[in-house]
A = this chain, B = another copy of it.
Amino acid sequence: MKTQKQINIRAYKAEGFAGRYQELVRSTVIPYQYEILNDRAGTEKSHVVKNFENAAKALNGDDIGDGFYGMVFQDSDAAKWLEAVAFSLSDYPDKELEERADELISKIRAAQDKDGYINTYYTIKDRDKRWTNLLEGHEMYCSGHLFEAGAAYYEATGKRELLDVCLKNAEHIYNRFVRDGKEGYPGHPEIELALMKLYRVSGDEHCLELAKHFVDVRGVDTEFYKKEKALRDWTVWGNNAEDNAYQQSAAPVRRQREATGHAVRAVYLYTAMADLAAETDDKELLDACDRLWDNITQKKMYVTGGIGATVHGEAFSVENDLPSDTAYSETCAAIGLMFFASRMLEAKPDARYADVMEQAFYNTVLAGMALDGKSFFYVNPLECVPGISGKAPTHRHDLTQRPGWYACACCPPNAARTIMSLGKYAYGESSDTAFCHLYAAGEVSFENGVKLRCQTEYPFDMKVRYTVLSGGRLALRLPSWSRATRLSKNGSDAEYEEKNGYAYMSVYEGDVIELSLDEQARLVYAAERIPELSGKACVCRGPLVYCFEGVDNGGDVLSLRLKRDLTAKPCEAEGLNGITALSVNALRAKSRNDLYSFVAPELSKTDAKAIPYFCWANRGETQMRIWVPAVL
């Protein structure tokens, strides 16, 4: 059984930083993405809504008009938008938005085949191709996103229409793979974690059984994709069917030890594994999750919480290979790491999971979206040098500016739904304890009766104040990055029991709990085994990784050096909506023009300005660097 679980989406109403981000998504991102899904935004063509309309026509034998357009997983963009809408509606009823969502849901239902199958790519283009290419076909990936949307929309609005479409589709898939015993497992894991959600809102045991089935059979027959390929005469991208490490299928999941292959697929799989392990008390599976967690967070994760270092296959690289400038670090992968962290927390509340969840959220996930909510990064490098980034053959994927949309548009709606559901990651509950994993301002009501009001300007201000509106047992995370943590209750030092980085205490109505975290900026160093980071340090404060941008530093951040005796004062940075920047005591090496010289560059003192990484690239093309050489 789960030690604690994510709260219901309706249980939290965001204020403060999270509230403002959710308002941005609500007021800007959701409408903007709706225009995109309907091809009215003037950006990269989406055609998502038309695909559903045309699929319905295809099912009715009508003329399909302009047919299908987009990636094989184009449907999932609609699902992620609906999921974000669901989360938005749970807090802020909006009749017009709900009508739009209901209209889209009707179009989706109309595109579902009688047997429960739903996927516009296959329905429009070639129904004979159904289920012939699990490796690349993304049918279950799209179903998974639909299930997540269906579960969220039901949880938020109580409406069953989309949920019923999902359950019918899940039953179709259950019949194929469980009842009829057809071989195979999804090339892009996603449906497994989604089936767990569908199971929880519907109670349908087939959903749990199907999720467990896909987790259990994965990597047992390592020849499956090879055999499948031999039977089909088509391909989407020509993926290598024998690269089992890339497919997370080189061994049964319970025996896997290293996070390999496509990073998003990997963490989506691990999320389902952790969820299932806790749900079914499967210790062997949980041990595998722990091994994979440690492998990622100790060998394959950027300081920004980004994962998947290489553009080649959007994948994990080998251990200790974490290049800054050619990083892939896909937004969706950081989101997936949050999912994985959240499910690990459900299995066992340990602050190390929440620390990483926070690291991924405040740095890479938020960096995926511009401050105005209108442009997005798919790829999140830790260093940007105009002239090289986006231009050198090895850096083409590392753009210097966020585009408005992508042909492969997985990340923007993924960021939107994640921000809108932040409450589920910030707060958790067991039958007798309310868990505060992240410090998210707003009101939260737990099913166990505890009710809190959290006031904070975190992640900029390190004071977090909880007013207890209804008492009970509380578990507050104590982050590992804080070297000066103080917890007070009604003005005096609080008494609490500390366990795995959480402070447990009983609270009563009217109590005021104040958490003071380390306000000092700190230098972070990497292990010597990371070749890229030898001799470098980065500036962090609270959960935020800071970066230096050219626009704040005379156009040149490459000649900056950090001093080990860091002093950093809060200051303002122009054009960033009043976000807290830092003025850092740095050194600047005098630039020379000669490519090589035996004259050591003169170093002179300078105040360098650092801004939170998630705000980078909001003020035009400019240099950016997180890791800076640190001198004595």
**Residue of chain B at shortest CB distance from A520:** B598
- Tell whether, in the assembled complex, residue B527 and residue A593 are in contact, meaning their CB atoms are under 8 Å apart: yes
Which of these, B312, B529, B595, contacts A526 with CB under 8 Å? Answer: B595
| Complex-state Cα separation, A523 to B534, whole angstroms | 18
A530: chain B residues at CB < 8 Å are 558, 595
Report A563 CB to chain B, min CB distance, Å: 9
| Complex-state Cα separation, A313 to B526, whole angstroms | 33
- Tell whether, in the assembled complex, residue B561 and residue A535 are in contact, meaning their CB atoms are under 8 Å apart: yes
- Tell whether, in the assembled complex, residue A525 and residue B326 are in contact, meaning their CB atoms are under 8 Å apart: no
| Complex-state Cα separation, A436 to B540, whole angstroms | 56
- Tell whether, in the assembled complex, residue B534 and residue A595 are in contact, meaning their CB atoms are under 8 Å apart: no
Report A391 CB to chain B, min CB distance, Å: 5
A318: chain B residues at CB < 8 Å are 387-388, 391-392
- Tell whether, in the assembled complex, residue B528 and residue A392 are in contact, meaning their CB atoms are under 8 Å apart: no
Which of these, B311, B326, B525, B593, contacts A599 with CB under 8 Å? Answer: B525
From known contacts A394-B317, A600-B564, infer whether A388 and B531 are also in contact, taking CB-CB under 8 Å: yes
CB of A486 within 8 Å of the partner chain: no
- Tell whether, in the assembled complex, residue A523 and residue B564 are in contact, meaning their CB atoms are under 8 Å apart: no
From known contacts A393-B313, A394-B312, infer whether A531 and B321 are also in contact, taking CB-CB under 8 Å: no
| Complex-state Cα separation, A550 to B624, whole angstroms | 33
Report A379 CB to chain B, min CB distance, Å: 14
Over the window 516-543 of chain A, the binary record of Cβ atoms lying under 8 Å from chain B Cβ atoms (1 yes, 0 no) is 0000001111111111001111001000
- Tell whether, in the assembled complex, residue A528 and residue B388 are in contact, meaning their CB atoms are under 8 Å apart: no
A596: chain B residues at CB < 8 Å are 303, 524-527
Report A598 CB to chain B, min CB distance, Å: 5
**Residue of chain B at shortest CB distance from A324:** B531
- Tell whether, in the assembled complex, residue A321 and residue B392 are in contact, meaning their CB atoms are under 8 Å apart: yes
A589: chain B residues at CB < 8 Å are 528, 534-535
* Chain A interface residue bracket vs B: 35 or more
CB of A453 within 8 Å of the partner chain: no
Report A594 CB to chain B, min CB distance, Å: 6
- Tell whether, in the assembled complex, residue B598 and residue A528 are in contact, meaning their CB atoms are under 8 Å apart: no
Which of these, B326, B393, B600, contacts A523 with CB under 8 Å? Answer: B600
- Tell whether, in the assembled complex, residue B594 and residue A531 are in contact, meaning their CB atoms are under 8 Å apart: no
- Tell whether, in the assembled complex, residue A394 and residue B326 are in contact, meaning their CB atoms are under 8 Å apart: yes
CB of A477 within 8 Å of the partner chain: no
From known contacts A564-B600, A591-B529, A631-B535, infer whether A387 and B320 are also in contact, taking CB-CB under 8 Å: yes
- Tell whether, in the assembled complex, residue A393 and residue B312 are in contact, meaning their CB atoms are under 8 Å apart: yes
- Tell whether, in the assembled complex, residue B601 and residue A525 are in contact, meaning their CB atoms are under 8 Å apart: yes
- Tell whether, in the assembled complex, residue A522 and residue B598 are in contact, meaning their CB atoms are under 8 Å apart: yes
| Complex-state Cα separation, A559 to B531, whole angstroms | 9
Report A599 CB to chain B, min CB distance, Å: 7
A301: chain B residues at CB < 8 Å are 595
| Complex-state Cα separation, A69 to B593, whole angstroms | 49
Please indicate which of the listed interface residues A298, A524, A589, A632 has the most CB atoms of chain B within 10 Å of its own CB: A632
Please indicate which of the listed interface residues A589, A598, A632 has the most CB atoms of chain B within 10 Å of its own CB: A598
Report A597 CB to chain B, min CB distance, Å: 6
- Tell whether, in the assembled complex, residue A388 and residue B629 are in contact, meaning their CB atoms are under 8 Å apart: no
From known contacts A528-B559, A564-B600, infer whether A393 and B595 are also in contact, taking CB-CB under 8 Å: no
- Tell whether, in the assembled complex, residue A310 and residue B394 are in contact, meaning their CB atoms are under 8 Å apart: yes
Please indicate which of the listed interface residues A535, A559, A591, A600 has the most CB atoms of chain B within 10 Å of its own CB: A535
- Tell whether, in the assembled complex, residue B387 and residue A525 are in contact, meaning their CB atoms are under 8 Å apart: no
CB of A607 within 8 Å of the partner chain: no
A326: chain B residues at CB < 8 Å are 326, 394
| Complex-state Cα separation, A603 to B535, whole angstroms | 11
**Residue of chain B at shortest CB distance from A394:** B310
**Residue of chain B at shortest CB distance from A312:** B393
Q: Contacts A526-B596, A529-B558 known; list 20 others, CB within 8 Å.
A: A303-B596, A310-B394, A321-B392, A325-B531, A385-B531, A481-B598, A523-B598, A523-B600, A524-B596, A525-B596, A525-B600, A527-B592, A528-B591, A534-B558, A534-B589, A534-B628, A535-B535, A535-B536, A535-B589, A537-B600
The 10 A-B pairs with the shortest beta carbon distances in the complex, nearest first, are A535-B629, A312-B393, A528-B559, A632-B632, A528-B591, A321-B392, A522-B598, A317-B392, A318-B392, A310-B393
